[in-house]
Amino acid sequence: SIHQYIGEEAIGTGVCSNLRETDFILSNHRGHGHAIAKGADPKAMMKELFGRVGGTSGGKGGSMHIADFSVGMLGANGVIADGCTISVGAAQAIKLLKQDKIVVNFIGDGGINRGPFMEALNWAKVYELPVLFVCENNQIAATTTTKTVTAGDGIAARAGSFGIPAVTIDGNDLLLVDQTAAKLVGEIRNGGGPRLMQAMTYRLRGHFA
């Protein structure tokens, strides 16, 4: 089984259209869409899904850990929200090496109540790291309506509590995603520190298929 990205494609496409090949992305369960949007070879990705020679990770990673370092796709992660801490680690390295790169971390709304997410927000802001957190809020955490298990005013408010500017948009509006990402990516490249974009969307299939 794989976790499909069907219905959320505008987010990955709109965000990655504003990135350079040298920029990095980190993904989650639905990493295939992100990998394609960042420039991974679809044929090599499909070989990876089937565990074949010629896959993006030699067939060793599979669906849940789809990665392609050649285009800056540092990988998906089966551990909920763990990509957040990896993304700030990559951003810390960029800052230490004084490189002109940024990191984008794609996280689902099912990960916002996990510890790594809060740790990553804190780390990113303390060190003013060049990272954009993108929450693809499809409103369902696996099979549970997210709002029923999330206290407070939600993800944008949580980012704000750490001093990280956050914006909420319609994630199914491709042009709006593109325009918003362009603004946030530009601010980050100019030394503005971390940003968060919550893109409201809805997956058209089940949690996995």
Per-residue pLDDT in tens (0 to 9) along the chain, 209 residues: 788 999 999 999 999 999 999 999 999 989 999 999 999 999 999 999 999 999 999 999 988 899 999 999 999 988 999 999 999 999 999 999 999 999 999 999 999 999 999 999 999 999 999 999 999 999 998 889 999 999 999 899 999 999 999 999 999 999 999 999 999 999 999 999 999 999 999 988 888 88
Structure tokens, 49: 């899904």
What is the pTM assigned to this prediction? 0.95
What is the residue type of 42?
P
- How much of the chain is helix, strand and coil, in % rounded to 5? 40, 15, 45
CA gap 132, 194 in Å, rounded:
6
Q: In 10 A of CB 49, how many CB atoms?
A: 16
Residue closest to 164 by CA, chosen among 91, 110, 98 = 91
φ, ψ for residue 127, nearest 5 deg: -100, 5
Distance between CA atoms of 174 and 7, rounded to whole angstroms?
12
